[in-house]
């Protein structure tokens, strides 16, 4: 039995499909080269240990389900009831391209998994941390402890003078919010006071 060429038409009748809920089809790309090593009467369920050892790319359940759906859709586009290795290979390619695009930090052009995991790239997190540090330094230097309030727009102008990066008012509000949670400043409307 070739685990990479199972029909999805009767997948609920397949022991492999019941046991793995269909990932064998999605793993076809990785298994295709192993067909020469698997005997015809080999039970694919027992081959899963070999498959797991070969599949060095860790896939979470949603990714596997996505690969299955993509593979099935690609087969349907060819008007076929049978998912073939070429469908699985293309599904893997599409998923890899989508993951790469969603994980690419547009500021640096590099792939950043923080962007997928947290929604904020490492470079953006570093930029925010730098802005918080610059704002903290400005507050400590320019504002008296318990002294008069300063308007945010004035702080923004001062930070823009000192900084080489582009800073917007919403960026400054975020940095001041961090300083407020630290207990360094108090924000009243559009004014900031050092405490």
Three-state secondary structure call for residue 191: strand
Contact 24, 4 (CB under 8 A): yes
Give the domain ranges of the chain: 3-102, 122-194
Give the CATH architecture of domain 122-194.
Answer: Orthogonal Bundle (1.10)
Q: How far apart are CA 28 and CA 64, in angstroms?
A: 11
Mean pLDDT of the chain, nearest integer: 75
3-class DSSP state of 185: strand
Residue with tokens 């299955």: 68
pLDDT value at position 65?
79
Place of tokens 């919403």: 170
The pLDDT of residue 163: 83
Tokens representing 11 are: 């997948």
Whole-angstrom distance, CA of residue 38 vs CA of residue 159: 66
Helices 85-102, 61-77: inter-axial angle, 10-degree rounding:
130
Whether the CB-CB separation of 184 and 136 falls below 8 Å is answered with: yes
Residues 63 and 95 sit within 8 Å (Cβ to Cβ): yes
Looking at the chain, the whole-number percentage of residues with pLDDT higher than 70 is: 68
CA distance 59 to 27: 10
Q: Phi first, then psi: give them for residue 165, nearest 5 degrees.
A: -90, 160
Is it the case that residue 173 has pLDDT exceeding 90?
yes
- Please compute the mean of the pLDDT values over residues 152-172 and round it to a whole number: 90
* pLDDT bucket at 177, cuts 50 / 70 / 90: very high
Whole-number pLDDT of residue 89: 86
Torsion of CA 154, 160, 166, 168, to 10 degrees: 0
pLDDT of residue 143: 86
């Amino acid at each position: 039995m070739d685990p990479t060429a199972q029909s999805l038409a009767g997948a609920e009748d397949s022991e492999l499909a019941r046991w793995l809920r269909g990932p064998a089809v999605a793993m076809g790309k990785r298994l295709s080269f192993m067909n020469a090593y698997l005997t015809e009467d080999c039970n694919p369920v027992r081959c899963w240990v070999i498959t797991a050892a070969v599949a060095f790319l860790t896939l979470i359940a949603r990714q596997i389900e996505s690969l299955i759906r993509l593979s099935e859709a690609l087969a349907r586009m060819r008007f076929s009831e049978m998912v073939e290795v070429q469908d699985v290979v293309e599904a893997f390619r599409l998923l890899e391209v989508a993951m790469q695009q969603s994980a690419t930090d547009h500021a640096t052009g590099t792939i950043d998994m923080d962007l997928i995991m947290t929604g904020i790239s490492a470079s953006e997190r570093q930029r925010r941390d730098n802005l918080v540090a610059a704002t903290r330094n400005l507050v400590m230097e320019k504002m008296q402890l318990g002294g008069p309030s300063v308007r945010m727009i004035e702080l923004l102008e001062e930070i823009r003078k000192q900084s080489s990066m582009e800073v917007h008012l919403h960026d400054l509000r975020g940095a001041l919010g961090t300083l407020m949670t630290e207990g360094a400043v108090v924000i009243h409307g559009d004014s900031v006071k050092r405490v």
